[in-house]
């Protein structure tokens, strides 16, 4: 308790301007809330829904980064593949919602493992920038390859019929939809499951050990390659589920679908502290809300500018993000 | 020795190629026309309809013996509804395919860059569907001599809708959303706002989005809060499907209004149910030429034509009429002939004003229970 207080005092002394800006922001939001509470609540609710979808993507970014120190830019495109898989499963083969989601997760996991084996593993000992550029290459490959006529299509597809019927409710003027509740339920259960895997299973222990120190983990008898494969698979499975949820809310599927959500989720992961699982979650929720609030109260054209400046500000002033620890560089 | 042999051979080959290229062209060559438009991408159905309409016109003329006694040959180019891709497609058609005439493009953001290059190269362009004013006039307000169109322009379309909202729907307040990066959508939205406010209405929500957006919840929350009488969504069908569906989910009851961008087989009619939009053509048009077009199009392609198909057909037909009237295969003479052309087209009688825009009526269509019905015809 004492130490937390001390840290807060220290923070206020050294970074008083941050606290001041934060306070001003809160006051401004409070004024807006007083003006029209219903509208404000609606923005918050929409922001949370968006945030939960980002969280499913951001978790994959952050887990992979935590373990192999690679920003996997192809992650947003795996998200897109998940969306297409679920679409074909539900519309062409009439699968139910949950089986389709499971299928999307499995397909994405296999895809990510293949990508990891083909594109990233040979570069594991290469400079990190080489792997990063490869990741961008893989991302472009997935986008343009799937845009070919015989793969998916360069045109957008409308997701009809949706696997679940849209139902909307109203609580004191604030609209909720059943899909929003499904998104929150699915994301939360995956988050709990992920937390369980990482902190309560042997595999999770091995993952944390690999993240901490790869050579030593290997010396302790951990199959590091297998752990890395698993990390990619889990991250991609989450993205696959996220992809399906995303196209159910925004029923328009195209091969460039993953680009923007992928970038936003990446910003959320950096904001929360890349490598940190709770950080990715909290970061995503905040980014989702920043998006809707800035669109609602400032200007809809400024929204992306604001979100991207968050990335720059975080990188400038707190590169480790909200929950990140100081980088543990290993020789 | 061996090296010398190869170099002599290659020089001879090159010379041979050069000489063969200089041979005089065969008489009675075809008249080559490019059809440009988005064949892939978010609005691919526009490009497909435009292409099908234009090709139908070319085939009909070819069946009658072509124009000036020469057959018509066409090349396709994919402009992707994107200024950069359009400029490339236009350059390719003009420089590589050596066309002297272009039918297209479809989106205004395609036609504007193409028109700049076409006018520089003295290539005649007639767009069936690009409605932004800047397609036929340059930044100084001067008419581009080689660019025409077969559709009415955004000013007209935006103000027609405003007039319709004020007079027929008795609307007092309006919400408007627009894509700031798209000349067509922005044009429609601005002209609607100007005309609506001039007529005593009030625009209570004016919000923009970008092409990549899929989530409109914040904008729609504002619209719902403002509760306007009409909601003007002058976007293409891809965004309309998203915005309309999300608006319905949010419980927005304002009457949705739109422009000809709504006209597509892929439009989700449930998303814009109860809405009205302005269009160039409606298949219920009783004039014989329109009914004739409808039957022929149905026979050829097995579906009903949309406005883009009708306009593609009209643009191609107008071009061929002008070539016939000019009597020579020369874009400059054809452009002169086009300026004074008067002809009965599927989408109405076309004469061109001083800005190369046709003067004709707009149709207001009503989306009702999954069907599109003719509501009114509004004169300029």
Flag whether the pTM goes above 0.80: no
Q: Per-domain residue ranges for chain A?
A: 39-258
Clarify whether residues B256 and B296 are in a common domain. no
- pLDDT greater than 80 at residue A125: yes
- For the segment B43-61, what is each residue's pLDDT rounded down to a tens digit? 888 899 999 999 999 999 9
E-only strand ranges, chain B: 31-37, 72-78, 101-103, 124-127, 147-149, 173-179, 202-209, 230-232, 255-258, 276-279, 342-345, 348-351, 362-368, 371-378
DSSP string, A119-150: IIGGGTTS-HHHHHHHHHHHHHHHHHHHTSTT
Clarify whether residues B113 and B227 are in a common domain. no
Over range B316-333, report the average pLDDT: 91
- What's the number of domains chain B is made of? 2
**pLDDT at residue A68, rounded to an integer:** 84
Q: What distance in Å separates residue A225's CA from the closest CA in chain B?
A: 37
Best mutation target among A44, A144, A159, A250 (most B Cβ atoms within 10 Å) is A250
Query: Is B176 inside any structural domain?
Result: yes
Clarify whether residues B192 and B273 are in a common domain. yes
Q: From the CA atom positions of chain B, what is the Rg in Å?
A: 23
**pLDDT at residue B192, rounded to an integer:** 92
**Residue scoring higher pLDDT (B309 or A164):** B309
Half-sphere exposure in the Cβ direction for B114 (13 Å, CA): 38
Alpha-carbon span B22 to B340, nearest angstrom: 38
Clarify whether residues B173 and B233 are in a common domain. yes
- The set of residues, in sequence order, having a beta carbon less than 8 Å from that of B153 and lying 6+ positions away, is B131, B132, B133, B357
Query: Is B222 inside any structural domain?
Result: yes
Query: Is B366 inside any structural domain?
Result: no
- For the segment B129-186, what is each residue's pLDDT rounded down to a tens digit? 888 888 998 888 889 999 999 888 888 888 889 988 998 889 999 999 998 888 889 8
Alpha-carbon span A105 to A242, nearest angstrom: 9
Query: Is B17 inside any structural domain?
Result: no
Angle between helices A224-249 and A37-68 (to 10 degrees): 160
- Mean pLDDT check: name the lowest of A4-18, A142-156, A184-198: A4-18
Which residues 85-144 in chain A show a CB within 8 A of chain B?
none
Clarify whether residues B189 and B144 are in a common domain. no
- Domain holding B343, by residue range, is 31-152+285-360
- For the segment B249-266, what is each residue's pLDDT rounded down to a tens digit? 888 889 999 988 888 888
Query: Is B24 inside any structural domain?
Result: no
- Which residues of A fall within a CB distance of 8 Å from B266? 158
Residue of B nearest to A179 (CA): B249
Residue of A nearest to B224 (CA): A39
What are the helix (H) ranges across B272-361? 288-301, 307-326, 331-339
- For the segment A86-122, what is each residue's pLDDT rounded down to a tens digit? 999 998 898 888 999 999 999 999 999 999 999 998 9
- For the segment A204-261, what is each residue's pLDDT rounded down to a tens digit? 999 989 988 888 999 999 999 999 999 999 999 999 999 999 998 888 888 888 888 9
Q: Around Cβ B167, how many Cβ atoms within 10 Å?
A: 11
- The encoded tokens of residue B120 equal 């520089």
A260 has a chain B CB within 8 A of its CB: yes
Q: How confident is the model at residue A1 (pLDDT cuts 50, 70, 90)?
A: low
Clarify whether residues B100 and B163 are in a common domain. no
A168 has a chain B CB within 8 A of its CB: yes
Closest CB from A251, A260, A296 relative to B218: A296
Beta strands at B230-232 and B255-258: parallel, antiparallel or unpaired? parallel
Alpha-carbon span A161 to A92, nearest angstrom: 10
Clarify whether residues B62 and B148 are in a common domain. yes
Q: How confident is the model at residue A150 (pLDDT cuts 50, 70, 90)?
A: confident
- The encoded tokens of residue B176 equal 């408007």
- Mean pLDDT check: name the lowest of A30-34, A138-142, B20-24, B67-71: B20-24
User: Residue B76 in 3-state DSSP?
Assistant: strand
Clarify whether residues B143 and B210 are in a common domain. no
- For the segment B63-116, what is each residue's pLDDT rounded down to a tens digit? 988 888 899 999 999 999 889 999 999 999 999 999 999 998 899 899 999 999
Report which of B131, B39, B119, B46 is spatially closest to residue B77, judged by C-alpha positions. B39
CB B347 within 8 A of CB B307: yes
CATH number of the domain to which B55 belongs: 3.40.50.2300
Clarify whether residues B147 and B168 are in a common domain. no
Query: Is B379 inside any structural domain?
Result: no
Element (H, E) at A158: strand A157-158
- pLDDT greater than 80 at residue A7: no
Alpha-carbon span B156 to B158, nearest angstrom: 6
Closest CB from A251, A296, A301 relative to B222: A296
- For the segment A268-298, what is each residue's pLDDT rounded down to a tens digit? 998 988 888 888 999 999 999 999 888 888 8
Q: What distance in Å separates residue B221's CA from the closest CA in chain A?
A: 7
Q: What distance in Å separates residue A324's CA from the closest CA in chain B?
A: 29
**pLDDT at residue B23, rounded to an integer:** 46
Over range B275-299, report the average pLDDT: 87
What does pLDDT average to over chain B? 86
- pLDDT greater than 50 at residue A329: no
- pLDDT greater than 50 at residue A70: yes
Q: What long-range pairs does B138-145 form, CB within 8 A, spacing at least 24?
A: B143/B354, B143/B355, B143/B356, B144/B115, B144/B119, B144/B356, B145/B119, B145/B335
The residue written with tokens 């009619």 in the block is B269
Q: How confident is the model at residue A160 (pLDDT cuts 50, 70, 90)?
A: confident
- For the segment B211-227, what is each residue's pLDDT rounded down to a tens digit? 888 888 888 888 988 89
**pLDDT at residue A148, rounded to an integer:** 86
Closest CB from A39, A50, A299 relative to B221: A39
Half-sphere exposure in the Cβ direction for B170 (13 Å, CA): 0
Angle between helices A75-91 and A224-249 (to 10 degrees): 60
ipTM of the complex model: 0.77
Sign of the dihedral defined by the CA atoms of residues A319, A323, A326, A330, in that order = negative
Clarify whether residues B81 and B185 are in a common domain. no
Q: Around Cβ B61, how many Cβ atoms within 10 Å?
A: 20
CB B179 within 8 A of CB B239: yes
**Residue scoring higher pLDDT (B78 or A125):** B78
- pLDDT greater than 70 at residue B14: no
- Which residues of A fall within a CB distance of 8 Å from B242? 250-252
Alpha-carbon span B133 to A257, nearest angstrom: 32
Q: What distance in Å separates residue A17's CA from the closest CA in chain B?
A: 30
Over range B241-245, report the average pLDDT: 90
- Which residues of B fall within a CB distance of 8 Å from A150? none
Q: What distance in Å separates residue B137's CA from the closest CA in chain A?
A: 28
* Share in percent of chain B as helix, strand, coil (round to 5): 45, 20, 35
User: Residue A153 in 3-state DSSP?
Assistant: coil
Q: How confident is the model at residue A18 (pLDDT cuts 50, 70, 90)?
A: confident
Alpha-carbon span A288 to A180, nearest angstrom: 13
The partner residues of A308 in beta bridges, in order of sequence, read: none
Q: What is the DSSP letter of B137?
A: B
User: Residue B73 in 3-state DSSP?
Assistant: strand
Clarify whether residues B73 and B162 are in a common domain. no
**Residue scoring higher pLDDT (B183 or B17):** B183
For chain B, percent of residues with pLDDT exceeding 90: 37
Clarify whether residues B233 and B308 are in a common domain. no
**pLDDT at residue A331, rounded to an integer:** 31
Q: What is the DSSP letter of B93?
A: I
């Amino acid at each position: 308790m004492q130490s937390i207080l001390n840290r807060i005092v220290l923070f206020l002394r050294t970074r008083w301007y941050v606290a001041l800006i934060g306070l001003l922001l809160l006051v401004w939001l409070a004024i807006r809330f007083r003006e029209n509470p219903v509208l404000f609540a609606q923005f918050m609710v929409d922001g949370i829904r968006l945030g939960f979808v980002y969280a499913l993507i951001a978790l994959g970014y952050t887990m992979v980064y935590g373990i192999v120190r690679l920003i996997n830019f192809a992650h947003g495109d795996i998200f897109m593949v998940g969306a297409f898989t679920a679409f074909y499963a539900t519309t062409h083969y009439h699968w139910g919602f949950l089986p389709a989601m499971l299928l999307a997760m499995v397909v994405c996991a296999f895809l990510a493992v293949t990508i990891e084996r083909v594109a990233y593993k040979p570069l594991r000992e290469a400079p990190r920038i080489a792997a990063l550029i490869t990741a961008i290459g893989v991302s472009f490959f997935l986008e343009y390859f799937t845009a070919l006529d015989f793969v998916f299509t360069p045109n957008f597809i409308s997701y009809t019929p949706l696997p679940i019927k849209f139902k909307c409710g109203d609580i004191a003027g604030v609209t909720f939809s059943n899909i929003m509740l499904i998104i929150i339920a699915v994301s939360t259960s995956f988050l709990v499951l992920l937390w369980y895997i990482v902190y309560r299973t042997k595999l999770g222990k091995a993952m944390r050990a690999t993240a901490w120190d790869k050579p030593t983990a290997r010396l302790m008898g951990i199959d590091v390659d297998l752990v890395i494969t698993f990390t990619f698979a889990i991250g991609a499975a989450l993205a696959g589920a996220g992809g399906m949820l995303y196209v159910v809310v925004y029923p328009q599927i195209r091969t460039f679908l993953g680009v923007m959500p992928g970038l936003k989720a990446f910003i959320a992961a950096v904001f929360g502290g890349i490598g940190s699982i709770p950080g990715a979650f909290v970061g995503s929720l905040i980014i989702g809300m920043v998006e809707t609030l800035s669109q609602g109260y400032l200007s809809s054209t400024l929204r992306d500018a604001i979100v991207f400046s968050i990335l720059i500000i975080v990188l400038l002033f707190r590169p480790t993000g909200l929950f990140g620890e100081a980088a543990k560089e290993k020789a | 020795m061996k090296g010398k042999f190869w170099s002599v051979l290659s020089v001879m080959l090159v010379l041979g190629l050069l000489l063969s290229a200089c041979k005089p062209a065969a008489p009675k060559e075809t008249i080559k026309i490019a059809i440009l438009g988005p064949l892939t991408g978010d609005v691919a159905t526009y490009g497909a309809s435009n292409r099908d309409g234009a090709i139908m016109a070319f085939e009909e003329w070819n069946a009658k013996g072509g124009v000036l006694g020469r057959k018509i040959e066409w090349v396709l180019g994919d402009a992707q509804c994107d200024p950069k891709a359009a400029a490339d497609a236009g350059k390719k058609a003009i420089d590589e395919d050596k066309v002297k005439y272009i039918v297209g493009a479809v989106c205004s953001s395609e036609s504007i860059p193409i028109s700049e290059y076409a006018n520089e190269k003295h290539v005649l362009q007639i767009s069936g569907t690009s409605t932004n004013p800047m397609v036929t006039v340059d930044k100084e307000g001067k008419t581009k001599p080689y660019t025409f169109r077969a559709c009415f322009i955004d000013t007209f379309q935006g103000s027609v809708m405003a007039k319709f909202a004020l007079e027929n729907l008795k609307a007092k307040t309006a919400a408007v959303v627009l894509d700031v990066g798209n000349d067509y959508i922005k044009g429609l939205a601005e002209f609607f706002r100007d005309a609506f406010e001039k007529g005593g209405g009030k625009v209570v929500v004016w919000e923009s989005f970008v092409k990549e957006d899929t989530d409109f919840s914040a904008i729609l929350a504002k619209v719902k809060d403002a509760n306007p009488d009409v909601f003007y969504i002058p976007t293409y069908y891809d965004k309309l499907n998203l915005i309309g569906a999300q608006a319905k989910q949010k419980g927005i009851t304002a009457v949705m209004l739109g422009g000809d961008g709504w006209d597509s087989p892929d439009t989700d009619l449930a998303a814009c149910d109860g809405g009205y939009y302005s269009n160039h053509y409606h298949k219920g048009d009783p004039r014989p030429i329109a009914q004739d077009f409808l039957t022929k199009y149905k026979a050829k392609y097995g579906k009903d034509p949309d406005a883009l198909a009708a306009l593609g057909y009209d643009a191609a037909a107008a071009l061929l009429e002008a070539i016939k009237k000019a009597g020579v295969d020369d874009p400059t003479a054809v452009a002169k002939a086009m300026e004074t052309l008067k002809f009965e087209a599927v989408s109405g009688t076309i004469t061109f004003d001083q800005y190369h825009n046709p003067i004709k009526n707009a149709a207001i269509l009503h989306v009702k229970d999954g069907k599109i019905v003719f509501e009114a015809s509004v004169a300029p």
